[in-house]
Amino acid sequence: MFYCSCRQLKFSYAAKSLFITQPTLSQSIKKLEAELNTSLFIHNDKQFHLTKTGEILYNKGKKIVKDFDELIEELHQTQDKQKETIRVGLTALFAIQFMKEISTFIATHPNVDIHFTQGGSRKIQQMLAEGKIDVGLNSFPQIHDDIIMEPLNTTTHGYNVSVVMDQSHPLASRNTISFSDLKDASFSTLTEDFMLGKLVTERTRSLGFEPNIVFINNDWEVLTHSLTNLNSVSLLPTEYEHFSKLKSLVWIPLADKNNHYPIGISLKKNTICSESVTDFIKLIKSN
């Protein structure tokens, strides 16, 4: 209050800048003068000027205030620099299914910056093996030896696989569809960064035919929008049907040994988890 009063030249101005009344400011100044046993101002009701001791206190005080402001700024910068960053890789489906736990973590860990990389499970495992992310939330099977995948015993067990197509497609009336049934079909498919993208090429080739891939995209919504115009089929997690707005599509269960993909939480081998990473994993496991 003293420093502000000196800068404003009038008690009324100083009081307004401090959002207090002028009598309150005057009393505070008198209290300070009593504690220091000296007069700091020669003043009347409207204006004032500093006494000699007031000038000494003001000049010394300017440096103290400046040093204090710089200290606070340095502390804030240090705090920002010490913020922990966690890099998480996950699929779009798992981001939706675990959004409640992710949101809880963000709300309860304000000093942690969490960066998300969205992609296919195969790509996420690759990034984890290369040290580009810290935690993976992805589906089995494990394809890298230098990572560790732990199955999640949560309400979300993974996803099932459906063959998706327009209701006018020749196969649309089937109860189930196998890869043999898809020999003459055109595919709109995910890339091989995804388990299902790799499944299309692996299973069709194992049955002796090359898949007729007419469209490739990593966004499941883009794929579903391509199916009617291209008269194609797509292998997608059955769980996406709930989120799809295209009512003209049918989602038929895939009859195959690879029609279910369990979910796991993944780390690079020999990783020592920080407290924040441990908290994140615990929250995911609470789903």
Query: Residues 240-260: pLDDT tens digits?
Result: 999 898 999 999 999 999 999
Q: What is the pLDDT at residue 38?
A: 78
* pLDDT for 81 beyond 60: no
Reported as a pLDDT band with limits 50, 70 and 90, residue 280 is very high
Best-predicted range by mean pLDDT (42-46, 107-111, 197-201, 270-274)? 197-201
CA distance 12 to 230: 77
Phi, psi of 88 (to 5 degrees): -120, 130
* pLDDT for 236 beyond 70: yes
* pLDDT for 135 beyond 80: yes
Q: What is the pLDDT at residue 283?
A: 92
Q: Decide: 169 and 260 in contact? Cβ < 8 Å.
A: no
CA distance 156 to 134: 21
* pLDDT for 35 beyond 80: no
Q: Could you tell me whether strands 135-139 and 84-90 are parallel, antiparallel, or unpaired per DSSP bridges? A: parallel
- Token pair recorded at residue 181: 């049934």
Q: What is the pTM of this model?
A: 0.70
